[in-house]
């Protein structure tokens, strides 16, 4: 008699834990009055504190190997070392978040009988399926760049504000025209574009990563207008940073 198979049901896994992999075990259960062999597919889970404890407990050699796998899969963009950097930690948690979403969505849609030949991925097998060039595996990345747009009124207001903060008086029409042109030229440079990455994780699951445009008009203006007076620029920049943190933008 063939074994009875009990598939993994992601809906029974609490939403506040992360699915980290899966197990398959064989046991015996009574069905009616008959003792039968049962194969059970189930998930292994962890919370963020457990994952962090694991990360901090990794050996330098293992952490270095992990960094390389995360980098190959497009999660990590730093140096491949054995150091527990915040950038590597962020990549590690992002990969587990994607593994969790991928597993939940995939096994919710997968018929129970198909699970007999579909193991639950762990982080290593999940990362091995990801690529950063769109070739092979389940993964692929589509990147869309965009130029940040500011209205003429917004640019003019920023110029006038910086001039008042640095010089005590507003900007002249000539200064507004000059710096408006300079800011628009900076915004048009590809290196100052923002971008949105769409990473196909497979199984119909997609991850979206937004990187804001690197260019900040106010920072640029402070540096340009205060040339020759770095102390004043530092003072104004410090005020802006403190203000942005106070209102939740920093």
Final residue of a domain: which of 73, 102, 130? 130
Domain assignment of residue 34, given as a range: 4-130
Q: Would you say the pTM of this structure is higher than 0.95?
A: no
Specify burial of residue 41 (Cβ count, 10 A radius: 0-12, 13-18, 19+): buried
Same domain (yes/no): 124, 35: yes
Residues 26 and 77 in one domain: yes
Say whether both 156 and 179 belong to one domain: yes
Evaluate whether residue 135 is within a structural domain: no
Output the pLDDT for position 180: 92
pLDDT for the residue 213: 75
Domain match, 11 and 124 both: yes
Q: Are residues 149 and 60 in the same domain?
A: no
Query: What's phi and psi for 217, nearest 5 deg?
Result: -55, -40
Are 165 and 101 contained in the same domain? no
In this predicted structure, what is the pLDDT of residue 30? 72
Give counts: helices (H), strands (E), the chain.
Answer: 8, 6
Q: What is the pLDDT of residue 220?
A: 87
User: Model confidence over 147-175: pLDDT tens digits?
Assistant: 788 888 999 999 998 888 888 888 899 99
In a domain, 178, yes or no: yes
- Could you say which of 130, 163, 178 is where a domain stops? 130
Query: pLDDT tens digits, the chain, 250 residues: what are they?
Result: 456 777 778 888 898 999 998 887 777 777 777 777 777 778 889 999 999 999 999 999 999 999 999 998 888 988 998 899 999 999 999 999 999 988 888 888 777 666 666 778 899 989 988 765 444 444 455 677 777 888 889 999 999 988 888 888 888 999 999 999 999 998 888 888 887 776 666 655 666 667 777 788 888 888 887 775 555 545 555 544 544 444 344 4
Q: Are residues 37 and 115 in the same domain?
A: yes
Classify residue 51: in a domain, yes or no: yes
Q: How many domains would you assign to the chain? A: 2
Distance CA 14, CA 245 (A): 34
Residues in the chain: 250
* Residues 177 and 110 reside in one and the same domain: no
């Amino acid at each position: 008699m063939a074994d009875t198979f009990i598939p993994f049901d992601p809906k029974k896994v609490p939403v506040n834990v992360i699915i980290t992999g899966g197990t398959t075990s064989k046991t015996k259960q009574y069905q009616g009055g008959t003792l039968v062999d049962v194969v059970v597919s189930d998930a292994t889970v962890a919370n963020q504190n457990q994952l962090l404890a694991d990360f901090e407990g990794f050996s330098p050699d293992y952490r270095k190997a992990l960094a390389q796998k995360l980098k190959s899969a497009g999660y990590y963009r730093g140096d491949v070392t054995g150091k527990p950097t915040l950038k590597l930690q962020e990549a590690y948690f992002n990969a587990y978040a994607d593994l969790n979403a991928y597993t939940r969505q995939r096994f919710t849609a997968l018929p129970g009988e198909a699970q007999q030949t579909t193991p639950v991925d762990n982080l290593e097998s999940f990362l091995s399926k990801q690529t950063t060039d769109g070739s092979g595996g389940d993964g692929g990345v589509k990147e869309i760049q965009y130029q940040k747009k500011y209205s003429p009124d917004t640019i003019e207001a920023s110029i006038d504000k910086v001039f008042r903060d640095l010089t005590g008086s507003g900007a002249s029409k000539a200064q507004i025209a000059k710096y408006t042109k300079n800011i628009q030229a900076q915004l048009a440079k590809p290196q100052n574009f923002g971008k949105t990455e769409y990473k196909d994780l497979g199984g119909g699951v997609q991850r979206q990563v937004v990187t804001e445009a690197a260019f900040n008009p106010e920072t640029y203006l402070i540096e340009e207008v205060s040339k020759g007076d770095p102390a004043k620029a530092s003072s104004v920049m410090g005020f802006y940073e403190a203000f942005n943190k106070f209102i939740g933008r920093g």
